[in-house]
Amino acid sequence: MNSRRSASPDIEALARDLRAGHHAALARAITLIESRRGDHQAAARDLVQRLLSETGKAIRVGITGSPGVGKSTTIDALGMSLIERGHKVAVLAVDPSSARTGGSILGDKTRMARLSASDKAYIRPSPASGTLGGVAAKTREAMLLCEAAGFDVVLVETVGIGQSETAVCDMTDFFLALMLPGAGDELQGIKKGLVELADMIAVNKADGDNIKRANLAAGEYRGALHILSPRSEHWHPPVVTYSALTGKGIDTLWQNVLDHRTAMNASGEFAARRQQQQVKWMWSMLEQLTMTRLRSDASVRAKVKRIEAEVASGRVSPALAAEQISGML
Amino acid sequence: MNSRRSASPDIEALARDLRAGHHAALARAITLIESRRGDHQAAARDLVQRLLSETGKAIRVGITGSPGVGKSTTIDALGMSLIERGHKVAVLAVDPSSARTGGSILGDKTRMARLSASDKAYIRPSPASGTLGGVAAKTREAMLLCEAAGFDVVLVETVGIGQSETAVCDMTDFFLALMLPGAGDELQGIKKGLVELADMIAVNKADGDNIKRANLAAGEYRGALHILSPRSEHWHPPVVTYSALTGKGIDTLWQNVLDHRTAMNASGEFAARRQQQQVKWMWSMLEQLTMTRLRSDASVRAKVKRIEAEVASGRVSPALAAEQISGML
């Protein structure tokens, strides 16, 4: 990091450039959010607070899928289709396992060839951080900045490791699960937690020889979802097929996102979900702050680690351990 | 509460009587855990820490099911069957909606007529508390006390409201979901979150005219579970039918619990799950402590409520709000 970047930035100017939609300003602002320096974090809080009234207007869509499902190709195709409709599209990621390298950024741009070449799109790789909570917090704030910069669709992708899908679901309005075709025993299992989160299941690669298998897979997923209570009585998650390669079905994907929004707006669930998410973010960020405090000092960190080990081995009760850790805050 | 109860209890004597398996001592100890008085809470932490090495030996089974599924009849039948095998059975509950009344206790005893009459069983209703976190924390500690008192099977029932099933799953080794028979469109939906948690689905009322319908329901549940990835590669949740009324199938229920334990022990997952649970309890209790601090003072409580409202309405960013609340701790 060079010295100009390290200097405390002029938040007012940054906010102005960001509002004007300058990609470079947006990138600098997200870098500020991702910084671990105390003064940068204070400046980032200030920046987000200033821009807050200009956030919240995008359609926020979470997208999950195992490696190989064609997530990047799908986002590239969907993103280009949205740009043709006049949208500005931001693509963010929550990947707690990612190491932040030039290669990773280059990788994202290569994987989304058309979208990365468009000035109506902004692609940002996952922040690197030790914990999912930290990664998710930074991505949530990056999303707010993208909205303030005029992006009216935000796509948040995740690789579906551990709890990252829940984190992405908690920051988006619609959660889309991508699947591969397959039939019978070849059909890959749906991760159980995913079933609870998905607002739609979309089977990719419904093209050429795969169309029949994709339809079979969709039927099996429909059967599995059939006897599960939907999260909302106003939305039964559809199962659709599409092809990111040919573009067939991409419009239907988006139509479902819009239909979902219409239904959620009509029932009042849209506003309620956003409000609940915001309050949940607040408590989650309080937890982050607490954890940061416990990690910032080496001797405290060592003590917490020792107490954790004693709890795991059954020598100290969780209640006593919590009391001990609480005393260190 | 009379003055003798309010007096700071002699923890050493209480621990001794509890170890000897006196039900009255166990009841007093759990009451101590449930007390909100600071000195009682300190005494309770001391008590649990003293008894900690004598805990952890029970088979811990969580049982969920909607009202009307026959949960109490099932626990009564299963509990009596276990007592006949030489076990001592404790029955606890996590019901965040319960108000602690004499009527509620009487209700539990009436609902489990045979079990409540046995001196090999101990039945305790759900602690009353404002939050699920609080109820769960107290039930976890009550479970440890039951183990120290010599109960080698602990059944924790929950009504399945909101997140209470996750809380019970997080404190038990095996999570059993009870269902009613039904067929086709009559089949009640499985709550989505439940699918992720259940180690077994058991369809009750497989007796008389209902046998066919129970088998049909079991088949549908099997179909739904079929394409979901199991939580462990060493355990695929079975779907069984039984009748709490006739007792048919109750032994099979328990055999599955034992088979699960054997499989989890062989793979090392049993010990790993218990350790993870304990560490998770610790962090959860730290959160409880923090929330208690924020609620204990009326002016702090009012401030937190106002900040929450500002976050919900989008006037204050979650990060800034977390910083403000953190400053009050």
Q: Which residues of A touch B285 (CB under 8 A)?
A: 318-319, 321-322
CB contact under 8 A, A192 and B228: yes
Distance CA B197, CA B175 (A): 7
Q: Compare CB distances from A317 to B48, B221, B230 and report the shortest one's residue.
A: B48
Domain with CATH 3.40.50.300 in chain A: 56-267
pLDDT at residue number A291: 86
pLDDT digits (tens, 9 = 90+) for B190-201: 776 777 789 999
**Residue A3: pLDDT over 70:** no
- The most confident of the ranges A26-35, A91-100, A130-139 is A26-35
| A228-229 and B190-191 beta bridge pairing | parallel
pLDDT at residue number B79: 98
Name the residue in chain B with its Cα closest to that of A185: B227
pLDDT at residue number B173: 98
At residue B222 the predicted structure's pLDDT band, cuts being 50, 70 and 90, is confident
Q: Which residue of A216, A282, A300 is the best one to mutate when testing the B interface, meaning the one whose CB has the most B CBs within 10 A?
A: A282
C-alpha atoms less than 13 angstroms from C-alpha of A110 in its C-beta half-sphere: 6
Q: What's the whole-number mean pLDDT along residues B78-104?
A: 81
Average pLDDT across chain B, whole number? 88
Give residue B239's identity as a one-letter amino acid code. Answer: V
At residue A6 the predicted structure's pLDDT band, cuts being 50, 70 and 90, is very low
pLDDT at residue number A127: 87
The continuous run of DSSP H or E covering B61 comes out as strand B59-64
At residue B92 the predicted structure's pLDDT band, cuts being 50, 70 and 90, is very high
Q: Compare CB distances from A321 to B231, B275, B282 and report the shortest one's residue.
A: B282
pLDDT digits (tens, 9 = 90+) for B249-272: 999 999 999 999 999 999 999 999
pLDDT at residue number A119: 95
**Residue B1: pLDDT over 80:** no
At residue B6 the predicted structure's pLDDT band, cuts being 50, 70 and 90, is very low
Domain with CATH 1.20.5.170 in chain B: 1-54
pLDDT at residue number B162: 65
pLDDT at residue number B87: 98
Nearest 5°: the CA angle A193, A198, A202 is: 120
Q: What's the whole-number mean pLDDT along residues B5-18?
A: 78
**Residue B186: pLDDT over 60:** no
CB contact under 8 A, A189 and B229: yes
A138 in B contact zone (CB under 8 Å)? no
Average pLDDT across chain A, whole number? 88
A283 in B contact zone (CB under 8 Å)? yes
pLDDT at residue number A156: 97
| Torsional class of B224: left (φ above 0), alpha (ψ -120 to 50), beta (otherwise) | alpha
Measured N-to-C along each axis, helices A250-267 and A269-296 cross at an angle, to the nearest 10 degrees, of 100
Q: Which residues of B touch A282 (CB under 8 A)?
A: 307-308, 311, 318, 321-322, 325
CB contact under 8 A, B224 and A226: yes
Q: What's the whole-number mean pLDDT along residues A157-167?
A: 83
Q: Looking at domain B56-267, which of 3.40.50.300, 3.40.1280.10, 3.40.50.10490, 3.30.470.20 is its CATH number? A: 3.40.50.300
Q: Compare CB distances from B319 to A48, A227, A287 and report the shortest one's residue.
A: A48
Name the residue in chain B with its Cα closest to that of A44: B319
State whether residue A59 is helix, strand or coil: strand
At residue A300 the predicted structure's pLDDT band, cuts being 50, 70 and 90, is very high
Q: Compare CB distances from B289 to A231, A314, A323 and report the shortest one's residue.
A: A323
pLDDT at residue number A108: 59
Nearest 5°: the CA angle A142, A18, A166 is: 15
pLDDT digits (tens, 9 = 90+) for A171-213: 999 999 999 887 444 566 677 677 778 999 999 999 999 999 9
Q: Let me know: does A67 contact A164? Beta carbons within 8 Å.
A: no
Distance CA B213, CA B241 (A): 10
A84 min Cα distance to partner chain B (Å): 31
B8 min Cα distance to partner chain A (Å): 19
Q: Let me know: does B246 contact B215? Beta carbons within 8 Å.
A: no
pLDDT at residue number A100: 43
Q: Which residue of B138, B140, B192 is the best one to mutate when testing the A interface, meaning the one whose CB has the most A CBs within 10 A?
A: B192
CB contact under 8 A, B229 and A311: no
Q: Which residues of B touch A285 (CB under 8 A)?
A: 318-319, 321-322
Q: Let me know: does A209 contact A101? Beta carbons within 8 Å.
A: no
Q: Which residues of B touch A223 (CB under 8 A)?
A: 223-224
pLDDT digits (tens, 9 = 90+) for A21-47: 999 999 999 999 999 888 999 999 999
Q: Compare CB distances from A228 to B49, B141, B195 and report the shortest one's residue.
A: B195
**Residue A170: pLDDT over 80:** yes
Distance CA A32, CA A37 (A): 9
pLDDT at residue number B221: 85
Report residue B235 CA to chain centroid gap: 21
B1-54 architecture in CATH? Up-down Bundle (1.20)
pLDDT digits (tens, 9 = 90+) for B113-158: 899 999 999 999 888 877 888 899 999 999 999 999 999 999 999 9
Dihedral angle sign, alpha carbons of residues A160, A162, A168, A169:
positive
CB contact under 8 A, A278 and B329: no
**Residue A277: pLDDT over 90:** yes
Q: Which residue has the higher pLDDT, B279 or A96?
A: B279
A139 min Cα distance to partner chain B (Å): 13
Q: Which residues of B touch A230 (CB under 8 A)?
A: 189, 192
pLDDT at residue number B52: 95
Q: For chain B, give the percent of residues with pLDDT over 70.
A: 90
- Strand residues in chain A grouped as ranges (E): 59-64, 89-94, 121-123, 153-158, 174-179, 190-191, 200-203, 228-229, 239-241
Q: Compare CB distances from B318 to A278, A317, A319 and report the shortest one's residue.
A: A278
DSSP string covering A156-195, please? EEE---TTHHHHHHTT-SEEEEEE----GGGSPPEEHHHH
Between residues 193 and 252 of chain B, which touch chain A (CB distance below 8 Å)?
Answer: 193, 195-196, 220-221, 223-224, 226-231
CB contact under 8 A, B55 and A195: no
Q: Let me know: does A126 contact A135? Beta carbons within 8 Å.
A: yes
**Residue A102: pLDDT over 50:** no
Q: What's the whole-number mean pLDDT along residues A275-298?
A: 90
Q: Which residue of B227, B276, B291 is the best one to mutate when testing the A interface, meaning the one whose CB has the most A CBs within 10 A?
A: B227
CB contact under 8 A, B286 and A326: yes
Name the residue in chain A with its Cα closest to that of B137: A319
Report residue A121 CA to chain centroid gap: 16
Q: Compare CB distances from B223 to A223, A278, A320 and report the shortest one's residue.
A: A223
CB contact under 8 A, B315 and A191: no
At residue A224 the predicted structure's pLDDT band, cuts being 50, 70 and 90, is confident
Q: Let me know: does B86 contact B80? Beta carbons within 8 Å.
A: no
pLDDT at residue number B107: 55
Distance CA B112, CA B96 (A): 20
The residues, any chain, with a CB within 8 Å of residue B7's CB and separated by 6 or more, are none
A275 in B contact zone (CB under 8 Å)? yes
pLDDT digits (tens, 9 = 90+) for A41-60: 999 999 999 999 999 999 99
State whether residue A212 is helix, strand or coil: helix
B185 in A contact zone (CB under 8 Å)? no
| Entry pTM | 0.84
